[in-house]
Structure 1
């Protein structure tokens, strides 16, 4: 066993502290971060790795990640977040990286009891067994409250210089940050949209209607108002200029982009075959979220794979008709 580890670096305070604790012991680290379609990981990690002076690798998760969101073995949290399954997935990727770079163990900034869904001792044990990393995960912040890992037993990592932090209080973490010279410690945040109930509704809607085969279908959930026209089609409406521009920029193949012609209103993206009935319904939705309608008949341009036509819309949808269509 050598003195090299792979650390799961989120860019938050906990993983930064875990890295500093082991770097202070002379342990060589390689940092990895995971790019999911749900915003779970941050660009901050790259900057933190640079400041720490450790090599950094960003790993985009595959579509296989969605399977654990659909069918989590260990349940979900308050939204649709399969935290234990997600951690197992990431530790499996960390194990592959460990083998690739010739490291002997994996490092995590997890704090025992900080997150009730995944940071319990029984969850730690489950994850280690499922990933084949039993004894090979070092958790510097809570190590003294856990069974010693192999690197600790073999003296690769000095257990006496690790910590016994537990629970949700940040007091000891902030004190430790001060000792390590970390100015302006980042605020705690899961960063995972799956924990948000409103976002979870949109994910469940995709699964329910079988519109979950491509990565963009999940990435676009972070943008706009989502309304379900029928089982085969939904509409996303921009809420502000930046979202309108994003929908225009993205406009995936097979979708229909709809933009106001003679008035200022939201851009819409129709996902699903663009039948006349659906185009008309989407156009009426645009009018429903338009503050000032023109004196003349509202016109909306729709574009789909080379087709570019103008559609005249007579009236907005009444709130009573609109409300049942809202996903969020």
Structure 2
């Protein structure tokens, strides 16, 4: 039997696909691709792979994914999710890894509106140079035969005929394949499909600031767009500590001095007007927001100064999320 390289999200569909193929005697290697927007903790994946007895390889594809995210040839979904081009990128990478091995995935025809409709599945294969070479065991019986079936490596009666979003049949399938009912099955979610997160990503794209360092801030704090710079204000003690340690050369660190308040990082700008506005926003989130003036510390390039600012309370026009 040839080796199978399975695109593995760590969700239930990819677990079923892995189990089904193993029961037919295939040597299955689970391949997981991750970026800051999707992907699971490696420790979780390793535990899961051990329990279903498959090999696991994890690859960070952030560098190759960011150009796709900035300008996807086949557009975005409802938010900033470039599902078609993202999946095509994964298949291209999987093709490089697999060589002449079998390429498989746990996709279900019709389950996801953008990337798993039948015509989308065919389009993605074409983009990746894998027409007829992607085995989808969960929907194989309702899809055109793959090259593996034509060569006799895979038999059609081994495959399932699942389609759409219903999961009514899953308990029966799980039982028939001998999958543990208590098996942890983390869902394969993508942050780019979430409206609030997508707005922050879109803002970075529009201002040509979609860097790994900026992306690392997207799940932290409140976000504001100033005339040139991007301000992130901590929401709690943990985020304040994170932002203080995060600030690097070129960043402006801002925090209150005379009253409790948040810590903030201003990136991509040292304009006096941006620092003034950022300081007023920080003061507006402090315990001194009702004072006439609040003392704020501004650190940049190893130097620190204190300025008194009037707290800004009406900052909706600056908010990104």
TM-score by length of 1: 0.90
Q: Please state if 1:164 is matched with 2:157.
A: no
Q: How does 1:79-118 map to 2 (within 5 A)?
A: 79-99=79-99, 103-118=100-115
**Structure 1 segment 12-23 matched on structure 2, within 5 A:** 12-23=11-22
Mapping 1:55-94, distance limit 5 Å:
55-94=55-94
- The equivalent of 2:233 in structure 1 is 237
Partner of 1:5: 4
Provide, for residues 144-178 of structure 1, a one-character-per-residue CA deviation record: whole Å limited to 9, x for no partner. Answer: 01011122233322321210001101111233223
* 1:55 CA displacement: 2.1
Do residues 325 (structure 1) and 318 (structure 2) align?
Answer: yes
Name which of 127, 130, 133 aligns with 1:130: 127
Deviation (angstroms), 1:189: 4.4
Are 2:296 and 2:309, in contact at CA under 8 Å, matched by a contact in 1? no
For the 8 Å contact 1:177–1:185, the answer to whether it is kept is no
Give the C-alpha shift of residue 286 in structure 1: 0.9
SS at match of 1:313: strand
Match of 2:254 in 1: 258
Instruction: List per-residue Cα deviations over 1:208-233 (Å, max 9, x = no partner).
Output: 21222x21212311221111111x21
Per-residue deviation, 1:256 = 1.4
- TM alignment of 1:103-252, pairs within 5 A: 103-179=100-176, 180-184=178-182, 189-212=187-210, 214-230=211-227, 232-252=228-248
The residue number in structure 2 matching 1:25 is 24
Separation in structure 2 between the aligned mates of residue 292 and residue 190 of structure 1, nearest angstrom: 43
- Give me the whole-angstrom Cα distance separating, in 2, the residues matched to 1:115 and 1:188: 17
Q: What per-residue deviation string (whole Å, max 9, x for no partner) do you get for residues 296-325 of structure 1?
A: 953333332322x13233321131xx1111
Superposition deviation, residue 67 in structure 1: 2.0
Distance in 1 (CA, whole Å) between partners of 2:188 and 2:10 is: 11
Deviations 1:108-155 (A, max 9, x none): 010011001110111111111111212221111100010111222333
Distance 2:241 2:256 in 1: 13
- Alpha-carbon distance between aligned partners in 1 of 2:53 and 2:161, rounded to the nearest angstrom: 26
What per-residue deviation string (whole Å, max 9, x for no partner) do you get for residues 92-118 of structure 1? 01111102xxx5121101001100111
The normalised TM-score by structure 2 is 0.91
Change over 3 Å in CA distance of 1:74–1:234 after alignment to 2: same
Provide structure 2 residue ranges, at least 5 long, that are not aligned to the other structure: none
Cα RMSD between the aligned structures?
Answer: 2.1
Question: Residue by residue, what CA displacement relative to the aligned partner does 1:30-51 show, whole Å, maximum 9, x if unpaired?
Answer: 111112121x111233322222
CA offsets 1:225-279 (integer angstroms, 9 cap, x no match): 111111x212001112222222223223321122333322111010123233322
The runs of 5 or more residues in structure 1 that have no matched partner are: none
Contact 1:297 1:312 in 2 (8 A): no
- Structure 1 residue 204 displacement after superposition: 1.6
How many residues matched?
A: 318
Contact 1:12 1:45 in 2 (8 A): no
> Distance between the aligned counterparts of 1:187 and 1:98, measured in 2?
25
8 Å CA contact retained: 2:283, 2:309? no
Match of 1:300, SS state, is strand
